[in-house]
């Protein structure tokens, strides 16, 4: 079936790799040099907030380096969204990435299920603030006016990802689910393929390598080439239906 009325795309660190952002589980990935237990859990933040801030401050700084830009895969997804919505069809992009490359490429129907690096959140009021500089322990939020309440607006291990009910609804209603550049190691995102498939969607993955998941279709290759090619193909086929 090529006449897809509703597409959900899930992206992971692999889509931003060609933009110069490290993935997590490669041999030189982020989790090779940092212990999750030290930098990406609520317990770590309670125990040693400075260490957690250092980890995210470094990532926030490197994300804003001039060399870090969206690549053709990000741009192609923004085009797919535009074309699909123009044609009255449905499109949702769900990313596990906390970088801002999808929005910089023009994506609008976008959910950051693991949060956003360029935002800080008050742990008391849950309000979020745009945040481009280093986050420090004694920074004050505008809501409470007290130091110590701000944390990176990222979902840590053991916390619940954001906007899950919206994501679940979209997965239940889609007829094509595409996962790009994710190892499928972290739930609930790792279960999206199965959920979409159970509700009748075709499922497809784009990755450099086999991830061991049960997709109907696999495209092996760098996202920067494979995604624009797939998007061209989907748009062309949609124009003939």
Active site (catalytic) residues = 114
181 is in an annotated binding site: yes
38 lies in the binding site for ligand APR (CB under 6 A):
no
* Nearest-angstrom CA–CA distance, 45 and 49: 4
Site for ligand NAD in 130-169 (CB under 6 A): 155-161
Tell whether residue 201 is among the known ligand binding residues: no
Q: Which one among 28, 187, 212, 240 touches ligand NAD, defined by CB under 6 A?
A: 187
Number of residues that bind ligand APR (CB under 6 A): 22
96 marked as binding residue: yes
Instruction: Give how far the C-alpha of residue 157 lies from the chain's centroid of Cα atoms, to the nearest Å.
Output: 15
In the bound state with ligand NAD, the residue whose beta carbon lies nearer, of 39 and 78, is: 39
Which residue lies nearer to ligand APR by CB, 143 or 186? 186
Among ligand APR, ligand NAD, none, residue 23 binds (CB under 5-8 Å by kind): ligand APR
Q: Report the residue number, 51 or 85, with the smaller CB distance to ligand NAD.
A: 51
DSSP states along the chain: ----SEEEEEE-THHHHTTT---SSSTTSHHHHS-HHHHSSHHHHHH-HHHHHHHHHHHHHHHTSTT----HHHHHHHHHHHHHHHTT-EEEEEE---SSHHHHHT--SEEETTEEEEEEEETTT--EEE--S---TTPBPTTT--BT-EEEEEPPTTSPPTTHHHHHHHHHH-SEEEEES--S-STTGGGHHHHHHHTT-EEEEEESS--S---SEEEES-HHHHHHHHHHHHHHHHHT-
Please list the residues that pair with 151 across neighbouring strands: 121
- Residue 5 counted as an annotated binding residue: no
Site for ligand NAD, residues 30 to 59, rule: CB under 6 A? 36-37, 40-41, 43
Residues 200-219 that bind ligand APR (CB under 6 A): 207-209, 211
Complex with ligand APR: residue 105 or 141, whichever CB lies closer: 105
- Tell me the Ramachandran region of residue 156: left when phi exceeds 0, alpha when psi lies from -120 to 50, beta otherwise: beta
Q: Closest approach of Cβ 196 to ligand NAD, in Å?
A: 17
Contact positions with ligand APR (CB under 6 A) in 5-34? 12-14, 17-18, 23-25, 29
> Known binding site: residues?
12-31, 56, 59, 96-99, 122, 141, 181-183, 223
The residues that touch ligand APR, with contacts defined as CB under 6 A, are 12-14, 17-18, 23-25, 29, 96, 114, 181-183, 185-186, 207-209, 211, 222-223
């Amino acid at each position: 079936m090529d006449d897809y009325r509703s597409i959900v795309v899930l992206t992971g660190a692999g889509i931003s790799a060609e933009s110069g952002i490290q993935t997590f589980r490669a041999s030189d990935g982020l989790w090779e040099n940092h212990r999750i237990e030290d930098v990406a859990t609520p317990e770590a933040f309670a125990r040693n907030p400075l260490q957690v801030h250092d980890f995210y401050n470094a990532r926030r700084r490197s994300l804003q380096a001039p060399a870090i830009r969206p690549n053709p895969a990000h741009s192609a997804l923004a085009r797919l969204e535009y074309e699909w919505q123009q044609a009255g069809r449905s499109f949702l992009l769900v990313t596990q990435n906390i970088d801002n490359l999808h929005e910089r490429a023009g994506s609008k129907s976008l959910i950051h299920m693991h949060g956003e690096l360029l935002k800080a959140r008050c742990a008391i009021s849950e309000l979020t603030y745009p945040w481009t500089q280093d986050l420090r322990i004694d920074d004050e939020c505008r809501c409470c006016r007290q130091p110590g309440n701000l944390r990176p607006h990222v979902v840590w291990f053991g916390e619940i990802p954001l906007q899950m009910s919206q994501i679940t609804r979209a997965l239940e209603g889609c007829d094509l689910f595409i996962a790009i550049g994710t190892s499928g190691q972290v739930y609930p995102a790792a279960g999206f393929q199965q959920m979409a498939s159970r509700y009748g969607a075709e499922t497809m993955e784009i990755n450099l390598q086999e991830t061991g998941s049960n997709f109907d279709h696999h495209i092996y290759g760098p996202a920067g080439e494979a995604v624009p090619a797939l998007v061209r193909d989907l748009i062309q086929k949609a124009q003939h239906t």
